[in-house]
Chain A
Amino acid sequence: MNRIASLLERARSADPDDRPPNILRALHAVQAALGSVPQDSVPEIAAALGVTEADVAGVLLGYPELRTRPPGRHVVRVCLGESCVANHCGRVLKEVEKKLGVRLGDTTRDGRFTLEKIYCAGNCAASPSVMIDEDVHGRVAPASVGALLKDYR
């Protein structure tokens, strides 16, 4: 696990000396490199940062976008914001669940997709929205879901 230690050293260098370590920044760095922040790495992270395990666990579990397990190759986020709800995004979600064969929060067996919800992709004037990785797709109709997913291998 030397990798985590060196990652954290780099993250620590962004913190000015007179400030306590920025745990969220450190966990972002770990996740960017490893795909997730495994729960069993918490003691090592805490030791490297000089904080308690409780501090690290509190941050790790306090943010939906910090993951303790790596997601599939692509993360599909169906927007459940109000404008999407008004545009009946439930129908889009149902179609995505059908096409992928998984429910919200789950990963397809081949590891290709993880399906999640998002409370607003900020694309409200082109609802309903589906965000796949960093791409936002707008005016998504249930019938266009299949074609949309095809581009993400």
Chain B
Amino acid sequence: MTGRLYLSQDTSARAVGADRLARAWAKVPGLELVRTSSRGAIFMEPLVEMDGPHGRIGWPNAGERDLPGILQGENGTPIERIPYLAKQTRVTFANAGVTRPLSLDDYRTHGGFQGLEAALRLTPQKIVEEITVSKLRGRGGAAFPVGLKWQAALETHADRKYVVANADEGDAGTYCDRMIMEGEPFRLIEGMLIAAYAVGATEGYIYCRYEYPAAARLLRDAIALLTEAGYLGDEALGSQARGGGRFMLEVFVGAGSYVCGEETALLQSLEGKRGMVQAKPPYPAVSGLYGKPTLISNVLTFATIPAILARGGAWHASLGTEHSKGTIPLQIGGRVKQPGLVEVPFGLTLEDAIEEFGGGMAAGARFKAVQVGGPLGSLFTKSGFKTPICYDAFARAGAILGHGGIVVFDQETDMVELARHFMAFTADESCGKCTPCRVGSVRAREILDGIGLGRRRPGDLELLADLGETMKAASLCALGQRAPYPVLTAIEHFRKEFQ
């Protein structure tokens, strides 16, 4: 038996047996096993692939004993004919499942550094204009126009500027940043390099959450490789153009605090302090890390930059809806048949996301509700299924897209218990700076505890609504401002369960 097979090394692939296959097949003579990133079709993992005459051929959910058949080429499915993948518009995840995460050769032969090369032919101001034309909005959740942020950081004069990638992907139900860091760390770093050149930053940090040890390791390895190759360090690529020539990049690991995903708390944490939210302004682009101008965006945003520079801002602006340009990697999970990452232009309806890509409900499950945008996202029932997935439509519905997480709940979900869970989460994670968030979340959890135990008192639901309004109005960051939404939308759609 001889041949070359491909198998993902992504955490989710390993979580469902990819390493087990690799160990079992390690001693097979003549077999070369190439560990790649994951295609994001996690429901197919472990997915084993082989080169075919017209692209890769895949064997989803492969087991140890399938090896002889796979090597004979029996019953494989051409990857390009898998509808789940064929129907997507892969840009940021174009190489997902194809390349080796730490191979610079693979990255280069699959379009790597084209964005950086294009950027280095432009002046910093022209780069920022390209980003502005692209109409890219921050992908971490706040959806702030990225061009404005870059312009502010560029215009602010300082002896030192920073670029910081927010890799504290704490919103439950999301993992696209993790997949980028584990699957194509060079793309993130290329985006950061372009940003550094554009705004004149000489130092950068990737603030990676503690819960992602594999991502932190891969990033450190990627930084070492890029330093060796001359992209990072004291004499970084493009040094002539930039004058100084220095761009140092470091991975900094957090310590399990959700609120550190908020940019001002993250910067506090990066300085080694307690992760407390700070009032804005000043915005980080003007005064951030150690009081210096700091361009901070989440991983996905930086990873989107290389394609924009390589293909032009106008190309990016041609995708998506009126105010939501480009693509969004949706992370569809919960009780659907086909959980995984789906990159599509903005504008797909929630129904299409769940039915067409999610494949509908898993065996034995009936749809009850769907939450979009992580633990602070609103709940929808089927009445919201026609909502297009874009910032404007979600804002109109009083909801958020957040980081693109979509979690589907089934008929066995107890809505009171779920609401209690949301508030317990906020109570656990509140940094305590704002009283409404610190106290309100605990009070709301207590009330929901009581309702769950069948001890609802008159006025409880009114009190929850009142607490919610206070938290929304009087909290500094999205945690306090948004935490009431999942609870209040649960009550709105499933009022009977709360009585």
Please give the residue numbers on chain A whose beta carbons come within 8 Å of chain B beta carbons, in ascending order.
Answer: 19-28, 55, 58-59, 62-66, 80-88, 118-127, 129, 131, 134-139
Digitize B249-286: 1 where CB-to-A-CB distance is under 8 Å, 0 elsewhere: 00011111110000000000101111110000000000
Contact A119 B258 (CB under 8 A): yes
Q: Would you give 17 A-B contacts (Cβ < 8 Å), ordered by A? A: A24-B255, A55-B273, A62-B274, A63-B257, A64-B256, A64-B257, A81-B173, A82-B334, A83-B407, A85-B409, A85-B421, A86-B334, A86-B413, A123-B15, A126-B42, A131-B211, A138-B15
Of B100-108, B231-239, B335-343, the stretch lying at the interface with chain A is: B335-343
- Residue numbers in A under 8 Å from B12 (CB-CB): 122-123, 125-126, 136, 138
Please pick, from B172, B213, B272, the residue contacting A120 in the complex, using a CB distance under 8 A: B172
| Chain B residues close to A by CB (< 8 Å) | 11-12, 14-16, 42-43, 45, 169-175, 178, 210-214, 252-258, 269, 271-276, 290, 331-335, 339-341, 371, 374-375, 405, 407-410, 412-413, 418, 421, 425, 428-429, 431
- The complex places the Cα of A68 from the Cα of B334 at a distance, in Å, of 35
Closest to B178 in A: A122
- In the complex the two chains form, is B255's CB within 8 Å of A125's CB? no
Q: Which residue of B lies closest to A138 (CB)?
A: B15
Known: A59-B272, A83-B333. A126 touches B410 (CB 8 A): no
* CB < 8 Å neighbour of A121 from B211, B253, B255, B407: B211
Q: Complex: how many Å from CA A27 to CA B272?
A: 9
Which of A21, A85, A138 has most B Cβ within 10 Å? A85
Q: Which chain A positions have C-beta within 8 A of B274? A: 58-59, 62-63
- CB neighbours of B178 from chain A (8 A): 122
Considering only CB atoms, which chain A residue lies closest to B407 in the complex? A82
Secondary structure type dominating chain B contacts = mixed
Q: Which of B11, B254, B407 contacts A136 (CB 8 A)?
A: B11
Which of A21, A55, A135 has the most chain B CB atoms closer than 10 A to its own CB?
A135
Chain A nearest CB from B165 CB (Å) reads: 16
B residues in contact with A134, CB < 8 Å: 213-214
With contacts A63-B255, A85-B418, A124-B339 taken as known, whether A118 is within 8 angstroms of B15 at the C-beta atoms is: no
Which A-chain residue is minimally distant from B275 (CB atoms)? A62
Query: How far, in angstroms, from A28 to B256 measured CA to CA in the complex?
Result: 12
Chain B residues positioned under 8 Å from A137 (CB to CB): 15
A127 to B408: give the CA distance in the assembly, Å: 12
Given contacts A127-B339, A129-B15, 7 further A-B contacts (CB under 8 A): A64-B257, A81-B173, A85-B409, A86-B334, A134-B214, A136-B11, A139-B16
CA distance A58 to B431 in the complex (A): 12
In the assembled complex, the Cα of A81 lies from the Cα of B424 at a distance in Å of: 12
Contact assessment for B375 and A138 in the assembled complex, using a CB-CB cutoff below 8 Å: no
Contact present for A26 and B11 (CB under 8 Å):
no
Q: Are A125 and B175 in contact (CB under 8 A)?
A: yes
- A-B pairs with the 6 shortest C-beta distances? A81-B172, A22-B272, A138-B15, A125-B42, A63-B255, A86-B334
Q: In the complex, which residues of chain B have a beta carbon less than 8 angstroms from the beta carbon of A28?
A: 253, 255
A66-B255, A124-B175 are contacts. A86–B408 as well, Cβ < 8 Å? yes
